[in-house]
A and B are shown apart, each in its own frame.
Chain A
């Protein structure tokens, strides 16, 4: 249950793109076509699922105040948490390099589809952000950290997929010249973020006995909203 809750929460409520604006650079740069967006999104899920648990272990056994207790009593009051940025980013950069090598060796087809995106990922804020949020939210166990990593990755994937689909369609609509491209993408993302805010009540509202239907109804309502956004985009195209 705990896992499911964190999973849903990291996909919808704390969505990387819409709630915290992480990974915006690649989100804006690589969302012109759905196919490339899918490639990058898959690579992000993959890398987040590996680096968040790894950094959780580092944080737990090396960086936290008192984490070095396993070395002996005299190390118990060491606090290395100021090193976390450099440790996390080093882990991420090496893991990305390692993953690239391993994938190239064992699955050339996956490498061909993911390969070009992997170097981009080392500098994607969503990856470092995942680890930093994992640290600041004090996720209690390795299993939950993995769930959090996978969930945030899927959230990011959904976001980039949705914006790429909308951008493919919006090409046919009559946007004011000065807003074309970047400007309208920003505004659409803002509207989508407002849509995603409606997920906020999903896991917090009601007591434990709250009927399941209420929850699903809310999910559906928000889905309808997202659909609505797309429909509006389509309508614009049609009216044109």
Chain B
């Protein structure tokens, strides 16, 4: 990577695993869980957050020296809200069905804690290029978890991936269904998202003992 120094690469790769915004920093759970019943919705949500966090970080970082610290929360919220309106309008124009599925959760990107968290912790203290990379890295880390959860929930819940049947046809009893496999409708319900994330955390911390907390 000629473009990125070693430090810059770390900014992107760190949040993917050892400093993941969802499983380690516990940020941005709010919107992450409700929309993961389908893989497609998870991917769109990840891309939206990538856009908002990447550019939001740059804008805040450019303005960091002129924002009075007392009203910075309101300034940050306004910047995010403006970016989210762009995402929302684009989705409504080009993917109306999907924007109905995501309903209020696109709007809730505004109060996604990852965004405020990165603004506060990183963009207010670093230059625009670094902030941009940090934003990309963190939203990728967020996206990875979303996509894993969406993958398992859609696969086990409705036997499809991105809407394509991958396990055969449940009505005509082909593929896996011919030997008695059934979809687990429970995976589509919201509580399972929590349990799947819980299991991801479990697996991650079993592999990396340094992350284990004592209660």
Residue of A nearest to B214 (CB): A180
B206 touches A190 (CB 8 A): no
User: How far, in Å, is A211 (CB) from chain B's closest CB?
Assistant: 29
User: How far, in Å, is A132 (CB) from chain B's closest CB?
Assistant: 4
B191 touches A190 (CB 8 A): yes
8 Å CB interface, B158-215 against A: 189-195, 197-199, 201-202, 205-206, 209, 212-215
Q: Does B107 sit at the interface, judged by CB under 8 A? A: yes
A26 to B111, CA, bound (A): 11
A178 to B23, CA, bound (A): 12
B77 touches A190 (CB 8 A): no
A82 to B84, CA, bound (A): 10
B107 touches A21 (CB 8 A): no
A22 touches B215 (CB 8 A): no
- Given A93-B74, A127-B111, A190-B198, A177 and B212 touching (CB < 8 A)? yes
8 Å CB interface, B20-36 against A: 23, 26-34
Most buried by A among B29, B111, B116, B213: B111
Q: Does B11 sit at the interface, judged by CB under 8 A? A: no
Interface string of A173-186 (1 = CB under 8 A from B): 00011111111111
Most buried by B among A122, A136, A177, A183: A183
Interface string of A153-191 (1 = CB under 8 A from B): 000000000000000001100001111111111110111
User: How far, in Å, is A200 (CB) from chain B's closest CB?
Assistant: 11
Q: Does A102 sit at the interface, judged by CB under 8 A? A: no
User: How far, in Å, is B40 (CB) from chain A's closest CB?
Assistant: 19
- Given A82-B85, A85-B85, A183-B201, A190 and B30 touching (CB < 8 A)? no
8 Å CB interface, A198-228 against B: none
Selected contact of A136 from candidates B104, B112, B191, B209, CB within 8 Å? B104
A83 touches B85 (CB 8 A): yes
Selected contact of B191 from candidates A86, A180, A193, CB within 8 Å? A193
A133 to B104, CA, bound (A): 7
8 Å CB interface, B71-126 against A: 73-74, 77-78, 81-82, 84-85, 88-89, 103-104, 107-108, 110-113, 116
Q: Total contacts A to B, CB within 8 angstroms?
A: 146
User: How far, in Å, is A186 (CB) from chain B's closest CB?
Assistant: 3
Contacts of B206 in A (CB 8 A): 178
A29 touches B26 (CB 8 A): yes
A10 to B89, CA, bound (A): 29
How many residues of chain B have a CB within 8 Å of chain A?
Answer: 48
A86 to B194, CA, bound (A): 30
A179 touches B77 (CB 8 A): no
User: How far, in Å, is B122 (CB) from chain A's closest CB?
Assistant: 16
Most buried by A among B88, B116, B197: B197
Contacts of A193 in B (CB 8 A): 190-191, 194
B108 touches A129 (CB 8 A): yes
B108 touches A132 (CB 8 A): yes
User: How far, in Å, is A101 (CB) from chain B's closest CB?
Assistant: 12
A85 to B33, CA, bound (A): 21
User: How far, in Å, is A222 (CB) from chain B's closest CB?
Assistant: 14
Contacts of A181 in B (CB 8 A): 213-215
- Given A85-B85, A132-B108, A180-B212, A94 and B74 touching (CB < 8 A)? yes
A177 to B205, CA, bound (A): 8
Ordered nearest first, which 4 A-B pairs have the shortest CB separation? A186-B198, A190-B194, A193-B191, A178-B205
Contacts A20-B190, A21-B31 known; list 15 others, CB within 8 Å: A22-B30, A83-B85, A85-B107, A86-B82, A90-B78, A128-B107, A128-B108, A128-B110, A129-B104, A129-B108, A170-B215, A178-B205, A181-B213, A187-B199, A189-B194
Interface residues of A (CB under 8 A from B): 18-25, 28-29, 82-86, 89-90, 93-94, 97, 119, 122-125, 127-129, 132-133, 136, 170-171, 176-187, 189-191, 193-194, 197
**Can you list 19 contacts pairing A with B, beta carbon distance less than 8 Å?**
A18-B190, A21-B193, A82-B89, A83-B85, A85-B85, A85-B110, A125-B108, A129-B30, A129-B111, A132-B104, A133-B104, A178-B205, A179-B202, A182-B26, A186-B195, A186-B198, A190-B195, A190-B198, A191-B191
